[in-house]
Chain A
Amino acid sequence: MIETIEVPNGGYRYMPGVFQYSCGVGALPGFALVRVRFSKVVPLKTGFAKIAEIIKADGRPLTAFAACELRSPAPFTEQGFVDFNEIYIKTLEEWGIMKDRVNPIARSNVCPKLDPPSEPGFYAFTYAIEAKDAPASFVVAGSGESVEGKANYRDHIVRLGDTSPSAMLDKAKFVLAEMERRMSAFGGDWSQTTGAQLYTVQDVYALLESELGARGVFRNGLTWHFNRPPVENLEYEMDCRRVHIERVVEV
């Protein structure tokens, strides 16, 4: 049984991850997660302001902020990733979400291969609303094919530097198992997802039906973003969710 922790005044619980992000979030009974996507990527600072506006307009406290999907200009170096995260978590501390480097927010952060944004920004975010009798909802954070929370990613990347079909299969298997482990913390599995996203610039056709199809990932289609994971040498990232209300906000 994986332990999850309730966020005070948030309406959700999270599965602990690393200081940059949690492994996933699930709405508490009486609450539902809502996903809002921006019509285009909004730079970090403006995006946080817009998110605050939307959450408040819905009568919810900023602590209802539960997950986000980011787009960055290019894969970070290990140090660049640390620096970026420091800026990002500052706002979470100001919002009273993050204390003592414990971060409840689930996150995906990827880098569009073509037409990337000039600076890191928000693609989408998720927050918890009050919703009596709502079905269970969860958002699982993005994971690439490496172990989180180690001194670096590189030394733990599955089949480092290899993008052959058999290497991509091993990478996919690792990530799929991680998705399944995280979903299980919220009693979830592929039969419950309403969305699954894949971030890769590799051709993974060879493993789609046999590996993803067989596990039930394709239930609602697989939304493929031609993006790279945020750290150099990672090649395959996924996230998934069970969310019943999704909106697009024009910016």
Chain B
Amino acid sequence: MTQDFPAGNYRYIPAVFQYSSGVAADRDFEIERVRFDTLVPLAEGFARIAELIQAAGRPLTAFCACELRSPAVVDEAGFLTFNQHYVKTLAEWGIFDGTRNPVARANVCLEIDPPAEPSFYAFSFTRPKQGATPTFVIAGGAEARDGAGTYPERIVRYRETGPDAIRAKAQATIGSMERRLAAFGHTWKDTTAAQIYSVCDFYPAVVDDLVKRGAARSGLTWHFARPPVVDLDFEMDCRRVVRETIV
């Protein structure tokens, strides 16, 4: 189920051309997460990321995950245009081969103080560490079922926002997080962080679906943001990363 990406010293869960569903460091490597103190626009962000990765003595192929912020939700066509632009740099860096993309990603739209253009909030890369504890980053996932069909066909409780609909959306997302964790042999108890992107009141899911399942063991970091495609309401990601810095 997972694929190796030896050039980056990590493996990934294949998904679509724009991102993978998650990455995990190879043995004797660890994933480090770097967050920008303020959002950095895409092109400038890629340049700074390249600098930081190279300053750590690593090849650009060590880039394994990123967290993006976009100005506003888009339709499917708009999402495609953005993604084609985004993967171009990954191709130049020798990461994206035209079909398979190993880089995990979360891309959301801030409801409060959104950036003027798509920007980096954070990224992760691999670096060698003898005997490192396993580390991984699970990509952002929302309440759309996998498989064929347009978003409206795949979105759980499409255009419903009542408490039980939000709970069903949260459950669907949590289930997809758990399947991705399982692909690497992990569960919530191995995570060091879980993030939620929603502008909805998901309180009906907090106790039974999040806290009791162990998803909130490091708290739930709630970003008041929307998933990047119109009519999605609840997105999450999670990770196990033991070193995080802010630049």
Contacts and interface: CB of A to CB of B under 8 A. Distances in A.
Interface of A: 37, 39, 113-115, 194, 197, 203, 205-206, 208-209, 213-214, 216, 218-226, 243-250
B220 A224 contact: yes
Contact of B219 (A223, A245, A249): A223
A114 B211 contact: yes
B207 A248 contact: no
Nearest to B210: A226
Nearest to B220: A224
Contacts of A113: 211
Contacts of B210: 226
B148 to A, nearest CB: 33
Interface of B: 35, 37, 111-113, 133, 192, 195, 199, 201, 203, 206-207, 210-212, 216, 218-224, 241-247
Contacts of B37: 194
A250 B240 CA distance: 11
B207 A205 contact: no
Contacts of B218: 37, 223
Contact of B203 (A205, A246, A249): A205
Given A209-B111, A222-B222, A244-B246, A114 B192 contact: no
Nearest to A197: B219
B111 A39 contact: no
Q: SS class of chain B's interface: helix, strand, loop or mixed?
A: mixed
Given A203-B203, A209-B199, A39 B192 contact: yes
Contacts of A226: 206-207, 210-211, 216, 220
A114 B195 contact: no
Contacts of B243: 246-248
A209 B113 CA distance: 11
A213 B224 contact: yes
Contacts of B207: 114, 226
A218 B224 contact: yes
A223 B220 contact: yes
Given A208-B224, A218-B112, A224-B216, 13 more contacts: A37-B192, A114-B207, A114-B211, A114-B212, A197-B219, A206-B201, A213-B112, A218-B224, A221-B223, A223-B220, A245-B244, A246-B245, A248-B241
A209 B192 contact: no
A161 B101 CA distance: 53
A223 B218 CA distance: 9
23 contacts: A39-B192, A114-B212, A115-B211, A194-B246, A205-B201, A209-B111, A213-B111, A218-B223, A219-B113, A220-B35, A221-B195, A222-B222, A223-B220, A223-B222, A225-B220, A226-B210, A226-B211, A243-B246, A245-B244, A246-B244, A247-B242, A248-B242, A250-B242
